[in-house]
Structure formats: structure tokens, C-alpha cells
Structure 1
Amino acid sequence: MRTSIATVCLSGTLAEKLRAAADAGFDGVEIFEQDLTVSPHSPEQIRRRAADLGLTLDLFQPFRDFEGVEEAQFEANLRRMEAKFALMNRLGIDTILLCSNVATATIDDDGLFAAQLRRAGELAERYDVRIAYEALAWGRFVNDFEHARRIVDLAGHPRVGTCLDTFHILSRGWSTDAVEEIAGEKIFFVQLADAPQLSMDILSWSRHHRVFPGEGDFDLVKFMRHLARTGYDGPVSLEIFNDSFRKAEVGRTAVDGLRSLRWLEDQTWRALHAAGEGKAAEALELSPLPEVADPEGVDFVEISTGRLGETIKVLHQLGFRLGGYHRSKPQFQVWTQGPVRVVIGDRGPTGAPTGITSLGVRTPDPAAAQARAHLLQARPVPRERAAGEVELHGVYAPDGTEVFFSGLAPETAPAWLAEFGVTDNDLEPAPLITGIDHVNLAQPWQHYDETVLFYTSLMALETHSREEFPSPIGLISNKVMRSANDTVRLLLSVAPEDGEQGDFLAAAYPEHIAITTTDIVAVARRARQRGLAFLPVPENYYDDLQARFDLTPAFLAELRENDLLYDRDADGEFLHFYTGTLGTMFIEVVERRGGFSGWGENNAPVRLAAQYRNVRDAERGIPQ
């Protein structure tokens, strides 16, 4: 599939945008007029630079407020258009984007629109260029792609076609079925944008909240299936207006954009072949990525710390035991309990906060997972390996977390554990801790959507819910991502943004590892006997709990005694407790009873408030 990106998607100068698009692997770019206007380089220099980088210049855009005007105004518009056609010849671009009129149209007449487009087509023929007419969702008289198509057909000029933009189609709720009714040769250009579903005016939604495919709520796979059936064979381009993208590092955004197109290409190819329509994929030259198998669980979590003593103390209190030290990297040790493995990287007595650094995910084919990650341009993790040590394939997630792909060995010691001296004989029989329920990873706000796409495209995780929770100094946003078989659950959260309190916020709104048990009361009592400092739960919480659920006095007393929190729904119950914060993380222990599928979201405000109080008190020197 030929890929392109509008320069308006990226930060920086035009020269920097071209370099980033080429480095990411795009085939071409759309030149946004303002980027050219403010550039010190001539059109000829831009043309040569693109050619040197291996980029095609696919579209010049936008041309606004053209049709539906009186003759005198139209003559002025034609003169303006002719100047842009001459500029396009200098750039070597053969297609211009013409947006439906928003500001100056005074005559609502399809016949006039078509006649004026026809005259524009005659002018375009003199310059050997084409016009792609696009219905803006807020166009004054034309805001529907089917309406724009009818005007193009009425114009009847070979130099006049249509541009399809998914935002303008899907933001209005238009069905994409009618895309198939457009002849492929009359589709001159295709622009893709995803977006979260928001209740706001369309123009503001468009200007600030578009995201790359796979990062929003639009059904772009369905659109692409319809497009493939038309026989369209041109570029598939990204046109994203997003405040975060305009601030982000240009190379990183470009990679994120190409990853989104490759993921969408793969999903479209698979959807067409599943429907027995593989032939339709040929015009767009769609190709699949290596098959991604559902992950089978979290193999290990790695944390690093400059406070080793307090970290291993909490693990011991929760029932973990030291498995051993790595034979060639003695700064690493592993703590185990049943199938749960926690690798600790000791940073020495530096006082550096404890935090999550890596996840190991069990997958049937680690090599295939790594190959897919490579094609999606995930940055590989360099890992020194001594002779005889297991090769673990890993890549960096956008937030810097290392994600490793390990083989399936849920009932036995995985091969890498032997490097710590752990064998099958060392596995604990009938442990109280039985697995990893979920992992919560904190995200920088500007990379939140990028991280969602990363886990969607690499591991086929799906976004199941979004929530926002009040905290003492702002809202916490969460997305819950799960594998189809529900063996891997990730919670991605964004804390309130405050550059002046970055370190404080990291401690007040920490990440966490949630481990499962079949007997949370036994785990809590064992931990308390070993001196675990639980995150305190206020009495007001238990009063509210009793009012909500009408619990028996004995059960409520048991919850109070063990600092347990509780929730239930029609399918089951959920009991859990939290440790105190270790640097920028903590550990949660959960017990699911029945078919409860949530993760304790109703209790999140209690936890956030308690963690805030603890960190604020520590900052003020108040004893815990």
C-alpha cells in the first residue's frame, strides 16, 4: 500500500518534516500550503530534497472557498487557482485538494458548482494537474461525500475527481457503504484520520482531536474494505490535526503514523480475505503483517530500584521468596511465588525510586512477534547475552517500558529462569499467589494514544473501557486493554499534568502490579504478620460500603480488619488490597469470585486519595 502523510501532522520545519517522513518509511507526503509559505527553500529545492529522500509529493493542499460564488468572485478565484497550479508545476505535484466552500459561497446550486468545477478542470488541463474535490463536514452547502461525488459526476471533466477524508465522513455519522459506488478512477486522493467519540462542534473536534488510525473510535477497517472494492490504487494518506502531535518530537510522530497505517493495512487485508475477497486487496497492494497470536499471560515483571531493602521486604511480606541471582549480571535477582516472577534490577544504594521497567509476555512464537514488531518499527531493546543464555526478544514501548516476548511455559520454569539457578524443582506447590491479574502503566499525556496503538498493533490488545477518576488535584484518565483470551490486561493511565510537580505526581499517582489469589484473607493476614504496611482505608469507605451492598456484620468486620476493599456486580465479587507506595509503584493483591470482570475501578478514588495523603505527608516530614 502506498503510504503518505500530510506535513500538517508533524512538528518542525518543512525540511524536518520531510526528513522524518522519509526516515519513518513513508512513500510520499502531502504539502500543506502554510508549510511551504513559511519555508526559506524554493519549490524547486523542496522538490529536489523530496526526490533525494525517496519521497513523492502527492498532494498540494488546501485550496479553499472556490465554488458557489458570483461570476466576478469566481474569476478572481480562478486567477488564484492558476497561481497555485503554476506553483504545483514547480513542486512536481499533480493533484490539489479543493475543499467545499465554507466562507464565501452565496449560491446553493449544484449545477453552478459543477459548471465552476468544470471550468477549473479546463484550467487544470493546461497545467497537467488534477483537482480532488472534498466535502468538508462543515461546508456551507456541500458537507456530504456523496453530494460531492454527484457534483464531480455532473462536472464531467477528467481532471476533476473527489477526495475521501474519513474524518469528514465519519464525524457526521455518514455510512461508508456508498464509497463502493464511486468509480476508483474518480477517487483522486484518500485521507485517513481516526478520532475519539466526543460531544462537541465538528470544527473544534477536527482541528484538535484527530488521531492516527487505531487510536480512536472510527471503524476505518470497514471504510478501507469499501475503498478496496472500488479499485482505487492511489496513496493512502494521513491528515491529522492534533495539538499533541504539533508539540511532539517529529521523528517519533512520523513512526507512530506509519505504524498506524501498517496496522490498518494488515487489518484490512485480513478482513477482506476472511470474507473471501482477497482479489479486492490487489489494487491497493495490501500486505499482511506476520500473524500475531494471542498472548498467554505475563511471564515476568521487572522492576528497578535504588532502595533494594524496602523493595524485597514488601515482596517477602507478600509471600515471595528469593529464587537467585543472575549468573552473569549479579545486579539482577528474581523473586518467585507460584507462576509469578518479579525480576529486580539493583541500582545500588542510590535511593532511586522503585519502578516498573520491563514486562515479559508469553507468546506461542516469540520470533514472529519480534518480526511483527520490527515491521511496525518498534525500537529493539539491546540485551547483552553470555554464552548459553536464552535470547529474549524485546522492544521499547512509547513510555520506555521494555516489552519482551517469551515462550509458553506456564506450568514449568521458563528457560530464562535457569540463568538465576531456578529449576522446576524450585517451583512452589499450591501457592497463595496464583498469577498476574493486570499491570498498570502510567503514560505521559502526549504519548497516550501512541501507546494504545503500540499494544493494539503489536499484541492485538483491545480497548475495553475508558474511565476518569477524581483525585485530590485532578482527573486520572484510564484505558483498559485486554487480550482476546483475557490472559493479559493492561491499564494505561494519565495523571494530571503539572510540570512543576513531576516527581511528586509520579509518587502520588504510581503504577502498579496486581497479583491474584484464591484466598485474599489468608494473604492479607500473612502479610500483616510479616509487618506489611497496607495502604490505609478510611472508616468512611466501610460505612459507604455497607450502605451500598448491605453486607453481613461479620464480613464487613473481616474487610475492615484486613484493609480490604470490595466491589461486586451481577456476575461476581472483587476483593483487593494495596501495599504502600514503593517509589513510583505499588503492589495490589486481588481475588475474583465468580465472573467479576472489572478491576476495582469504583475503589480507585479511595486509593488515589490515600496515596496522595501519604506522599504529601512524607514531603512535609509527617511520620507515616
Structure 2
Amino acid sequence: MRTSIATVCLSGTLEEKMRACADAGFDGIEIFEQDLLVSPSSPARIRALAGELGLSLDLYQPFRDFEGVGEDLLEANLYRAEAKFKLMNQLGVDTMLLCTNVATATVDDDEAAAAQLRRLGQLAAKYGVRIAYEALAWGRFVSDFEHAWWIVELVDLPNFGTCLDSFHILSRNWDPSGIEKIPAEKIFFVQLADAPRMSMDVLSWSRHHRVFPGEGDFDLAGFMGHLVRAGYDGPVSLEIFNDVFRQTDEVRTAVDAMRSMIWLEEQTLLHLQEADGPGGRYAMKLATLPKVDDPSGFNFTEVKAEDTAQVQELLYQLGFGYAGRHRTKPVQLWTQGQARIIINEQQARKMEPTIAALGFDVENPVAAASRAVQLKATPVLRPSQADEEVLQAVSAPDSTEIFLCEASGDGTVAWMKEFNPRTGAPDYAAGVPAAGLITHVDHVNLAQPWQHYDEAVLFYESTLSLDRQPSTEVPSPVGLVRSQVMRTEDRRIRLALNIAPLVLEHPASAPRYPQHVAFACTDLVAVARRALERGLDFLPVPANYYADLQARFRLADGFLETLQQYNLLYDRDEDGEFLHFYTATVGNVFFEVVERRAGYDGYGAPNTPVRLAAQYGRTRRGRG
């Protein structure tokens, strides 16, 4: 699949955008007219730079508001178009994007529009230029791709074809199967954009909320399937209008864009194989990535800080046992059941406790790492001695290190032998075995910078095959927190990605939005009782919460008193019950313990505002 991207997708100057696209691995680019107009470089210099970078210049765009007008305006439009054709010759671009008229059309007549477009096509032919006619979803008289194709047929010129844009088709819920009726040689160009489903006017939706494939809700694999079946083999390009992308680093955005294309190429092939069988032959060649199974569980969670004493104490209070100190590094291991927490103090000068790494059990770590690297993830290399395990790892968009570890069914992992349980234990934990009530990590909650949230969703979806669940928004005392759960089908991996209100990310106003690890247990009350005996500082829950809880669920008096005694929270739905509690926050980390009863599959979302308000209150009072 030949990849391209519109320069409007990125921030920076035209030259910076071109270099970023080349470095990310794109084959070509669309030049957005405004980027050229504000560039100090001549068209000849841009053409030369593209050659130096190995980029093809695939499209010049957009040319607007041409057809369906009176004769005087038509002559002006032809004059304007001829100037652009001459410019395109200087650039070395042979295809122009022509959008259906949205502003100046006054004649709703397909034959008349085709006659005017034929004159444009004839003029373009003198300069060796092709016209790709695109139906904008808000076009004045032409707003769907099949209508635009009908007009292309009426024009009947070899250099006049159509451009298909996934946003304009899917945002209006047009059936994309009609693409297969268009001759491949008349599909001059294809533009892709994903988007979240939103209830707003389509123009505003298009101009501000497009995202890269895999970051929204459109079925782009299905769209591409129709395109491939039609026999198209030209550039597949990204055209993304997004306020965030145009404010962030162009190199990083280009890499995110390329990851989305690599992922979509694989998804398209899988879609075609499922729909048509594995023996399909298509003009477009679709590459595959290393096939890996879904991760089967959390291997470990790592908390890193200069001083980890408070984190160690929290783990002891929750019933974790000290499993040893690494023989060559300032690193400890704490375990309970299948939950393994690494406490890391190396290279952590002035760092407060934070979740620095996650380990996932995978069937083939080398293949999983290879897949991630091919999806543009950055490898992570940690120094190791000759007799130590070499772990495969890549960096996530928020810099969390993702380790891909050999799956283990018996509760042991190879790297654990590197820890000596006889050294380094705090006095209070020496010789105290793990309590055994906590069984495994239920889920991990990671805060994401607002500008890289969509990138993170695509990263975990493409590299670890985690499925996106519907996003939610919960109120905090300083604004809404958006949460996106990513998980495996069997729920063994649950990862919640949160965007905090901007005020919580500003160091002058408040600490960074905290992250946490949630542990599953068999008896939450017993865990809480032991934790209280060991001095755990629970996150306090107000009495008003319990009064409301009783009004909603009519709990037994003794049960409600137990919940209130230990600051436990409760939720219930038609599938089961959910009990949980939170610790105080240490640095940027806190812990949660949960008990799922029957088939409860949520996360206690109605209780999240209580937790956020309690954490905010303690922060304002100078406590964790």
C-alpha cells in the first residue's frame, strides 16, 4: 500500500512537515495550498526538497467553488484554475483536488455542472493535470460520492476522475459499497480520516475532530475493503483536520500517523480474508505484521522514585510480602498472589513515586516486540548482566515502558530468580509472608497528556491488540476527567487511560493527575481489616456518600456499617456487585483493592467522583 499524508495534518513550516513525513516513512504527501502560500521557498525548491527526501508530491489541494455558477464567475474560476495548473507544473504535481461547490453555486443542474467541469478538465489537460472531484458532505448541490461519480461520468474526460474521502462518506452514513461500482482507473485519489461519533454539524465535526485511523469510531477496514475490491492501487492518504495535531510536535504526529496506516493496512487484509476468504487476489498489495496472541495477564507493575519507603509501607499494609532485592540494582520485588510490584530507585533522582513500567505476559516476546517496533514504537534498552534475563520492551506515548514477558502459567517468572529475599527488607516486613487475599492485578489506570491521548489509544490497540470500550466522563472538583478503558476480550488485561483537566497538569496549580494500580482480591473486608491493623491511611469517604448509597441500594444495616467503618465503596448492577477502597496518594501513585462479585464487569464509575473529590481535598490540605 502506497502511503501519503496531507501537510495540513501537521504543525510547523512546509519544510518541517516534509522532513517529518519522510522520517516517519511516508511515500508521498499532499501539499495543502495554505502551506505553500506562506512558505518562503519557491515551488522549484519544494520540488527539489521532495526529491532529496524521497517523497512523491501526490496532490495539490484544495481547489474550491468552481461549478454551478454563472458565466462571469466561471470565467474567473477558469483564470484562477489556470494559474494553479502552472504552479503545479513548477511543483511537479499532476493531480489537483477539486471539492464540490459549497459557497457560490446557484445552478442545481448536473448537466450544466458537468459542462463547466468539462471545460476545466480540457484546460487542465493542456498542462498535463488530472482533476480529482470530491464530494464534500456539506456541498451545496453535490454532497455524496455517488452523485459526484455520476457527474464525473457526464464530464467524460480521461483526466477527470473522482477522489474518495472516508470522512465525507462515513460521517453521513452513506453506504460505501458503491465504491466497488466505480472503475479503478477513475478513482484518482483516496483520502482517509477516522473520527469519534459526535452529535454536531458535519462541517465543525470535520474541521476540528478528525483523527488518524484506529483513533475514532469509523469502520475504515470495511471502507478500505471496498476500495481494494474495486481494484484501486494508488496512494492512500491521510487528511486530518485536528486542532491538537496542529499544535503538537510534527515529528511525533507524523510517527503516530504512520503507525495508523501500518495498523490499517493489516486490519484491511484481515477484513478481506474474513469476508472473501484467504485466497483473494487484489491489485493493492497489503503487508502484514508479526502475528501475536493477546497478552494473557499482567506480569509486573513498576513504581519508580528516588525514595520509595512510603510505597513499600503501603504494599506491606495491603498484605504484600517482600520477595527480595535485585542482586545488582537498587530494585525491590513485592508479591501477593500473581500481583508483582517492582520498586525501582535507580536513575530516579528527585523523582516522586510514579508508575514507570508495565509488564505483560505474551506467548512470544520477541515477535511481540518486533510487531511493536514495526508499528513505530521506540525500543527500550535496560542494562543487564550476562546471567540476567534480557526483557523485550518499548516505550508508550506517555513514556511508560511496556515490557513483553514470557507467559507463565505456574506463578513463577524467570527474572524473579535475580532477587534475593534475604537482603534489603524493611524491618517491619522481614520474614512476614504475603497475606494471600490479593490474587492479581485487576486493572491499571494511567493518566495521559491531553495532546497525546488519541496516540495512546492507537498505540495500545495496535501493539497489544487491546479493544477500546466506550469512553466515559466523570466530574472532579476542577473539571471533567475523560476515561477510556482498553482491555483484552477475556478481561485479563484492563487498562484505563485518563485525560485529566488541564488545571491538574499545571505544576503551578496542583500536582499531576495521579495514577494507580487496582488489585483483585477474594475478600475485601478482610483485606481492609488487616490493612487498618497495619496502619493504612485509607482515602476517606464522606458520610453523605453512605446516606446516598443506602437510598439507592437499601443495604443491610450491618453491611452498610462495615462499609463505612473501613471507607469501602460499593456498586451494583444487574450482573453483580463491586466493593473497593483506595489508599492515600504517595507522590503520583495510589492503590485500589477491588472485589468483583458474580458477573460485575465495571469499575465502580458512580464512585469515581467521590474518590476525585476526596483526593482533591487532601491535596488542598497538603496530604496525599
After TM superposition, the score normalised by the length of structure 1 is 0.96
* Residue 352 of structure 2: aligned partner: 353
* Residue 79 of structure 1: aligned partner: 79
Alpha-carbon spacing, 1:487–1:283, altered in 2? closer, same or farther (3 Å): same
Q: Measure, in 2, the Cα distance between the counterparts of 1:40 and 1:499.
A: 40
Q: Deviations over 1:218-263 (max 9, x none)?
A: 1111101111100001000000000100010000000000000110
- 1:159 matched to 2:155? The reply is no
* Residue 540 of structure 1: aligned partner: 544
Match of 2:470 among 438, 456, 465: 465
Q: CA deviation at 1:290?
A: 1.1
- Structure 1 window deviating more from structure 2 (351-360 vs 607-616): it is 351-360
- 1:399 matched to 2:398? The reply is yes
Give 5+ residue unaligned stretches, structure 2. Answer: 423-430
Q: Measure, in 2, the Cα distance between the counterparts of 1:78 and 1:280.
A: 44
Q: CA deviation at 1:193?
A: 0.3
* Residue 269 of structure 2: aligned partner: 269
Q: Measure, in 1, the Cα distance between the counterparts of 2:177 and 2:251.
A: 35
Q: Deviations over 1:410-454 (max 9, x none)?
A: 42310011111379xx99788111000000000000000000000
What is the letter of the counterpart of residue 33 of structure 1? E
What is the letter of the counterpart of residue 237 of structure 2? S
Q: CA deviation at 1:309?
A: 1.7
Residues 229, 282 of structure 2: 8 Å contact kept = no
Q: What SS is found at the alignment partner of 1:261?
A: helix
Alpha-carbon spacing, 1:500–1:235, altered in 2? closer, same or farther (3 Å): closer
Q: CA deviation at 1:281?
A: 6.0
How many residue pairs get matched?
616
Q: What SS is found at the alignment partner of 2:98?
A: strand
Residues 303, 345 of structure 1: 8 Å contact kept = yes
* Residue 486 of structure 1: aligned partner: 491
Q: CA deviation at 1:303?
A: 0.6
* Residue 299 of structure 1: aligned partner: 299
Residues 303, 356 of structure 2: 8 Å contact kept = yes
Q: Measure, in 1, the Cα distance between the counterparts of 2:371 and 2:120.
A: 46
Alpha-carbon spacing, 1:278–1:183, altered in 2? closer, same or farther (3 Å): farther
- 1:438 matched to 2:437? The reply is no
Q: What SS is found at the alignment partner of 1:260?
A: helix
Residues 14, 39 of structure 1: 8 Å contact kept = yes
Q: Measure, in 2, the Cα distance between the counterparts of 1:543 and 1:297.
A: 38
* Residue 550 of structure 1: aligned partner: 554
Q: CA deviation at 1:86?
A: 1.1
Q: What SS is found at the alignment partner of 1:523?
A: helix
Q: Measure, in 2, the Cα distance between the counterparts of 1:196 and 1:309.
A: 43
Q: Measure, in 1, the Cα distance between the counterparts of 2:176 and 2:353.
A: 49
Residues 339, 411 of structure 1: 8 Å contact kept = no
Alpha-carbon spacing, 1:556–1:11, altered in 2? closer, same or farther (3 Å): same
- Structure 1 window deviating more from structure 2 (590-599 vs 273-282): it is 273-282
Q: Deviations over 1:462-517 (max 9, x none)?
A: 1112111111111111011111221100100011113883365445x311100000
Residues 269, 278 of structure 1: 8 Å contact kept = no
- Structure 1 window deviating more from structure 2 (239-248 vs 77-86): it is 77-86
Q: CA deviation at 1:282?
A: 3.1
Residues 195, 216 of structure 2: 8 Å contact kept = yes
Q: What SS is found at the alignment partner of 2:276?
A: coil
Q: Measure, in 1, the Cα distance between the counterparts of 2:363 and 2:464.
A: 12
Q: Measure, in 2, the Cα distance between the counterparts of 1:503 and 1:515.
A: 32
Q: Measure, in 2, the Cα distance between the counterparts of 1:190 and 1:523.
A: 57
Q: Measure, in 2, the Cα distance between the counterparts of 1:500 and 1:229.
A: 47
- 1:174 matched to 2:174? The reply is yes
- Structure 1 window deviating more from structure 2 (37-46 vs 350-359): it is 350-359
- 1:475 matched to 2:492? The reply is no
Q: What SS is found at the alignment partner of 1:127?
A: coil
Identity of aligned residues (%): 59
Q: Deviations over 1:304-349 (max 9, x none)?
A: 12332211111100011211111221x1111111111100112599
Q: Measure, in 2, the Cα distance between the counterparts of 1:427 and 1:262.
A: 50
Q: Measure, in 2, the Cα distance between the counterparts of 1:64 and 1:350.
A: 56
Q: What SS is found at the alignment partner of 1:502?
A: coil
Q: Measure, in 2, the Cα distance between the counterparts of 1:66 and 1:6.
A: 22
- 1:373 matched to 2:372? The reply is yes
* Residue 531 of structure 2: aligned partner: 527
Q: CA deviation at 1:211?
A: 0.4
Q: Measure, in 1, the Cα distance between the counterparts of 2:382 and 2:348.
A: 24
Q: What SS is found at the alignment partner of 2:342?
A: strand
Residues 292, 458 of structure 1: 8 Å contact kept = no
Give 5+ residue unaligned stretches, structure 1. Answer: none
* Residue 614 of structure 2: aligned partner: 610
In the TM superposition, what are the counterparts of 1:539-578 in structure 2 within 5 Å? 539-578=543-582
Q: CA deviation at 1:388?
A: 1.5
After TM superposition, the score normalised by the length of structure 2 is 0.96
Q: CA deviation at 1:55?
A: 0.5
Alpha-carbon spacing, 1:153–1:523, altered in 2? closer, same or farther (3 Å): same
Q: What SS is found at the alignment partner of 1:8?
A: helix
* Residue 184 of structure 2: aligned partner: 184
Alpha-carbon spacing, 1:198–1:82, altered in 2? closer, same or farther (3 Å): same
Residues 292, 369 of structure 1: 8 Å contact kept = yes
Q: CA deviation at 1:70?
A: 1.0
Q: Measure, in 1, the Cα distance between the counterparts of 2:302 and 2:22.
A: 35
Q: Measure, in 1, the Cα distance between the counterparts of 2:531 and 2:295.
A: 31
Q: Measure, in 2, the Cα distance between the counterparts of 1:344 and 1:430.
A: 19
Q: Measure, in 2, the Cα distance between the counterparts of 1:498 and 1:603.
A: 22
Q: What SS is found at the alignment partner of 1:174?
A: coil
Q: What SS is found at the alignment partner of 1:498?
A: helix
Q: Measure, in 2, the Cα distance between the counterparts of 1:306 and 1:504.
A: 23
Q: Deviations over 1:143-175 (max 9, x none)?
A: 111100100011111110000011111111111
Alpha-carbon spacing, 1:111–1:242, altered in 2? closer, same or farther (3 Å): same
Alpha-carbon spacing, 1:434–1:427, altered in 2? closer, same or farther (3 Å): farther
